[in-house]
C-alpha cells in the first residue's frame, strides 16, 4: 500500500473572495463545480496538477468566524526559487504578510488565505537536515546568496546531507 497526497477540502464562508485568491494569486484553475448529492451546498474543485482532478475543494458552508482551528497549515510544493519569488511578488501585491522559513530542506513561505487558513508554499533545497529545523530566510536574496546562506546555516545541524542521499534511504525504509 502506498498513499500519496491528493487534495484538501475547505469549508469556506466567502466563496468569491476565496476563489479570486486561489485562482488569481495562487494560480489554481477551477476544474469542476456543482451541487453536492443532497443539494444543500455547491462544491468547487480547483487544481493546477494535470494528474489531479482537484487539489483543493471548497464547500461554502463555513459558519464559524475567525481562523481555522483544527488544521495548522496545508502545503504546496512549487518548482523552484523563480516561481516562489513570483508568488512572493503576487502576495506582496495583495498586502499579505508572509513568514519566510527555511527548514534546511525547503525554502518555505507561510501565510494565511483570506479566511485565515494556514498555507505553506515551498521549494526544495539540495539538502536534507533532521527536522524540526527552521530559520528565517531573506526573500530578497538572489539564488547564489541564498544557496550559500542555507548551506552555511544548516551544514552543522544534525542529519545534514544531500537531498538525494536522504530520499534514496527513505525509499528503502518505506518499501
Is 57 in a helix, a strand, or coil? strand
Within 13 Å of residue 146, how many CA atoms lie on the same side as its CB? 26
Q: Which is nearer to Fe ion, 47 or 106 (CB)?
A: 106
Instruction: Give buried/exposed letters for 56-73 (b at 16+ CB in 10 A, else e).
Output: bbbbbebeeeeebeeeee
- The binder of Fe ion chosen from 25, 59, 75, 123 (CB under 5 A): 75
**Distance separating alpha carbons of residues 101 and 135, to the nearest angstrom:** 5
Q: Which is nearer to Fe ion, 113 or 120 (CB)?
A: 120
Distance of CA 21 to the CA centre of its chain: 14
Question: How many C-beta neighbours within 10 Å does residue 33 have?
Answer: 14
Q: Which stretch binds Fe ion (CB under 5 A): 42-50, 85-93, 114-122, 138-146?
A: 114-122
Q: Which is nearer to Fe ion, 47 or 108 (CB)?
A: 108
If binding is defined by CB under 5 A, does position 100 make contact with Fe ion? no
Task: Give me the least distance between CB of 118 and Fe ion, in Å please.
Answer: 9
Q: Which is nearer to Fe ion, 46 or 109 (CB)?
A: 109
If binding is defined by CB under 5 A, does position 113 make contact with Fe ion? no
Task: Give me the least distance between CB of 103 and Fe ion, in Å please.
Answer: 8
Q: What CA dihedral angle connects 140, 142, 143 and 145, to 10 degrees? A: -100
If binding is defined by CB under 5 A, does position 119 make contact with Fe ion? no
- The binder of Fe ion chosen from 55, 113, 120, 128 (CB under 5 A): 120
Interaction site with Fe ion (CB under 5 A): 75, 120
Amino acid at each position: 500500500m502506498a498513499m500519496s497526497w491528493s487534495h484538501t477540502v475547505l469549508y469556506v464562508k466567502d466563496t468569491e473572495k476565496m476563489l479570486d485568491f486561489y485562482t488569481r494569486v495562487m494560480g489554481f484553475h477551477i476544474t469542476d463545480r456543482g451541487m453536492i448529492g443532497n443539494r444543500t451546498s455547491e462544491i468547487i474543485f480547483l487544481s493546477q496538477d494535470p494528474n489531479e482532478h482537484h487539489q483543493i475543494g471548497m464547500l461554502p458552508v463555513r459558519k464559524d468566524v475567525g481562523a481555522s482551528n483544527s488544521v495548522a497549515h496545508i502545503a504546496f510544493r512549487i518548482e523552484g526559487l523563480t516561481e516562489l519569488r513570483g508568488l512572493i511578488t503576487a502576495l506582496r501585491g495583495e498586502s499579505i504578510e508572509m513568514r519566510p522559513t527555511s527548514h534546511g530542506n525547503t525554502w518555505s513561505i507561510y501565510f494565511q488565505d483570506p479566511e485565515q487558513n494556514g498555507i505553506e508554499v515551498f521549494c526544495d533545497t539540495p539538502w536534507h537536515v533532521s527536522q524540526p529545523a527552521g530559520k528565517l530566510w531573506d526573500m530578497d536574496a538572489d539564488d547564489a546568496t541564498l544557496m550559500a546562506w542555507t548551506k552555511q546555516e544548516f551544514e552543522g545541524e544534525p542529519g545534514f546531507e544531500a537531498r538525494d542521499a536522504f530520499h534514496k534511504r527513505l525509499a528503502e525504509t518505506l518499501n
